Amino acid sequence: MQDTSSTDANDVMIEAVRLSKYYGLFAAAQNVSFQIKKGEVAAFLGPNGAGKSTTMKLLTGYLSPSTGKARIAGFDTQTERLEASKVLGYLPENGPLYPDMTPRSLLKFFGQARGMTGSQIRRRMEEVIELCNLQQVLGKPIGKLSKGYRQRVGMAQVLLHEPDVLIMDEPTSGLDPNQIRDVRNLIRKLGETKTILLSTHILQEVEAMCNRVVFINEGRVVFDGHPNELGSNPAELDNKFHELTGAV
Ligand SMILES: Nc1ncnc2c1ncn2[C@@H]1O[C@H](COP(=O)(O)OP(=O)(O)OP(=O)(O)O)[C@@H](O)[C@H]1O
């Protein structure tokens, strides 16, 4: 993780400006504002149903907000979608949804869809295959891979166009302990050069990977700060989680 002490306004890479999303009268996200700066690896923390996925979809432009704005590297994700998508890699909650394709054909397909040249695709495929450790499964249908491998294929797809910003929705959910360790190591490595927002409802994820926490509950931001401010041991973290979610 980089030193973030000397950042200025130009270093804001992910920005939510009073974002809200209503379904009828129900607010899945309400007046959500925060800025993630270059070099930060931020955890988007909150209980199930808090509004993490909704906010991430608003940030990435997959959902349009009822009110507010989202910017990636300064680009509005509704009105400057193409520019924003060039700097953004978004890993949605359930990873890639092309079960009949192989990782090799999927990566090639996405490289072409992004307008990369043949030699760019070959060079980047080699790099992301190595980074995500996919050599063993390149020719197997994605639908037949373990959840851990599918998650890594999703990562490779997201990294192919060398985005500076990564938004990942629960990247370790449903993985076994070894797979969790691998994905965390990969995210730590990516955090050396990229700005990352990852959602989780697991407090330990925060300590393991992040230098910033944005905590959301019932669609609203209830804490934004350094992980240390949440507590320094598992019991303190647990108490803080209960306090922020209003649980008794
Ligand atoms: N299309 C929709 N229509 C109605 N309600 C929705 C819709 N999408 C999400 N919601 C509701 O908005 C709230 C926030 O959902 P969201 O998926 O953003 O939460 P989350 O924090 O990502 O939860 P999880 O950790 O379980 O993935 C939930 O109550 C959910 O049921």
Pocket of ligand 1, candidates 19, 22, 25, 26: which has the most ligand atoms within 8 Å of its Cβ, to mutate?
26
Pocket of ligand 1, candidates 23, 90, 241: which has the most ligand atoms within 8 Å of its Cβ, to mutate?
23
What is the distance between the alpha carbons of residues 165 and 160, in angstroms, rounded to a whole number?
12
Residue 168, exposed/middle/buried by CB under 10 A (0-12, 13-18, 19+)? buried
Which residue's C-alpha comes closest to atom 31 of ligand 1?
49
With a 6 Å cutoff on the Cβ, whether 46 touches ligand 1 is: yes
Handedness of CA 216, 233, 192, 119 (dihedral sign): negative
Q: Which atom of ligand 1 is nearest to the CA of 53?
A: 22
Can you tell me the ipTM of this complex? 0.96
Structure-token pair, residue 23? 């379904």
With a 6 Å cutoff on the Cβ, whether 27 touches ligand 1 is: no
Domain ranges of the chain: 9-94+164-244
User: Looking at residue 208, what is its pLDDT?
Assistant: 78
**Cα-based distances in Å from 187 to 1, 131, 235:** 10, 11, 25
What is the distance between the alpha carbons of residues 185 and 146, in angstroms, rounded to a whole number?
18
pLDDT in tens, the chain (248 residues): 444 444 466 799 999 999 999 999 999 999 999 999 998 999 999 999 999 999 999 999 999 999 999 999 999 999 999 999 999 999 998 765 688 999 999 999 999 999 999 999 999 999 999 988 899 999 999 999 988 888 889 999 999 999 999 999 998 887 888 888 888 888 999 999 999 999 988 887 888 789 999 999 999 999 999 988 888 777 887 888 888 888 64
With a 6 Å cutoff on the Cβ, whether 150 touches ligand 1 is: no
**Cα-based distances in Å from 54 to 18, 114, 156, 211, 220:** 14, 25, 23, 23, 12
Which residue's C-alpha comes closest to atom 2 of ligand 1?
23
CA 34 to centroid of ligand 1, rounded, Å: 20
With a 6 Å cutoff on the Cβ, whether 39 touches ligand 1 is: no
What is the distance between the alpha carbons of residues 172 and 151, in angstroms, rounded to a whole number?
8
Beta strands in the chain (DSSP E): 12-23, 26-37, 41-45, 67-72, 75-76, 88-91, 165-168, 195-200, 212-217, 220-225
User: Looking at residue 247, what is its pLDDT?
Assistant: 67
User: Looking at residue 102, what is its pLDDT?
Assistant: 96
With a 6 Å cutoff on the Cβ, whether 92 touches ligand 1 is: no
With a 6 Å cutoff on the Cβ, whether 201 touches ligand 1 is: yes
CA 7 to centroid of ligand 1, rounded, Å: 33
Architecture of domain 9-94+164-244: 3-Layer(aba) Sandwich (3.40)
With a 6 Å cutoff on the Cβ, whether 48 touches ligand 1 is: yes
What is the distance between the alpha carbons of residues 125 and 119, in angstroms, rounded to a whole number?
10
